[in-house]
Amino acid sequence: MEIKAPETTNADILAPFERITIPQGIYNKLSAVDFKIRDVLAGSFGSRKQFEDNLSRNYYYVPAKYLDEEKVSALRYIALFQSKSMFGGNGRIEYYGEITVAKHLCRREIRFPMRRDNGDEMYYAFAVSEWKRLSPPISATFEIVNEPKLTSFFLLQNSTQTYELFGIGSAQQYILLHELRRMYSEAKNASSEHFEALCGLNNGKALRINGKYIEVIDENGNSLIAPPITLSDFARDPRRCFATISAMSGIQ
């Protein structure tokens, strides 16, 4: 469905774009999201046994040095990162749970064996109501979670890869990535080498994709990215490529 930016106060998130193809349902959700609020903590594990214990007893814990009271007060959910090295297959985020209780306590007060002598170290422990499964899981091919990372519940529900989960900071960036992926897919599936697609921006720039390159161009059609990003570049490292495209398009 194609949406033209409406002339209302709700048009703010669409203001940078001439036209977009994002589904109406996603647009409605985006209109209500405050991307400054990071209400999901994504955390990893020291061992597979810790993961199994956290999953079976509906809790998670993390060293307090990674958080502060302000960040903790904003949290509503915990998401569990399963690394490729520990769990096999692709790294992924498959489970998440809604926080019911958050406690600031010493490590020795957490009922799971310590791997080192840090009983006095301060931690945050979170109880969750239940663990739910994301279907499909969020793939961690291009960004992993070693130390805890924060994101939003909207992105947890609407991301396919972790670089989106942690790299998108605004509704406009989410829309830009949506349009970029749509155009990239069309370019990969095009039967003609002369394929070209444009996403016009209201700042005189445009996102252009043809059979070889992804470019941000100015009003004269000149590329603003040198060297140009190839389709294979984007396939290999979408995180880095999207960061460049976002910066050069003026959408942050």
248, two tokens: 């050069």
- Final residue belonging to a domain, choices 117, 136, 167: 167
127 and 57 both lie in a single domain: yes
6 and 91 both lie in a single domain: no
Maximal CA-CA distance, the chain: 65
* Domain span at 12: 1-34+168-252
- Average pLDDT taken over every residue of the chain: 89
Tell me the C-alpha distance between 74 and 76, whole Å. Answer: 7
81 and 158 both lie in a single domain: yes
Q: What is the CATH number of the domain that holds 59?
A: 3.10.590
Tell me the C-alpha distance between 57 and 21, whole Å. Answer: 43
**What percentage of the chain has pLDDT greater than the value 90?**
62
Question: What pLDDT digit, counting tens, does each position of 9-34 carry?
Answer: 344 777 888 777 888 888 888 888 89
Q: For the CA atoms of 53, 58, 61, 67, what is the dihedral angle to 10 degrees?
A: 160
- One-letter amino acid for residue 180 of the chain: L
Tell me the C-alpha distance between 144 and 252, whole Å. Answer: 22
Can you give the pTM of this predicted structure?
0.85
Question: What pLDDT digit, counting tens, does each position of 79-110 carry?
Answer: 999 998 888 888 899 999 999 999 999 999 99
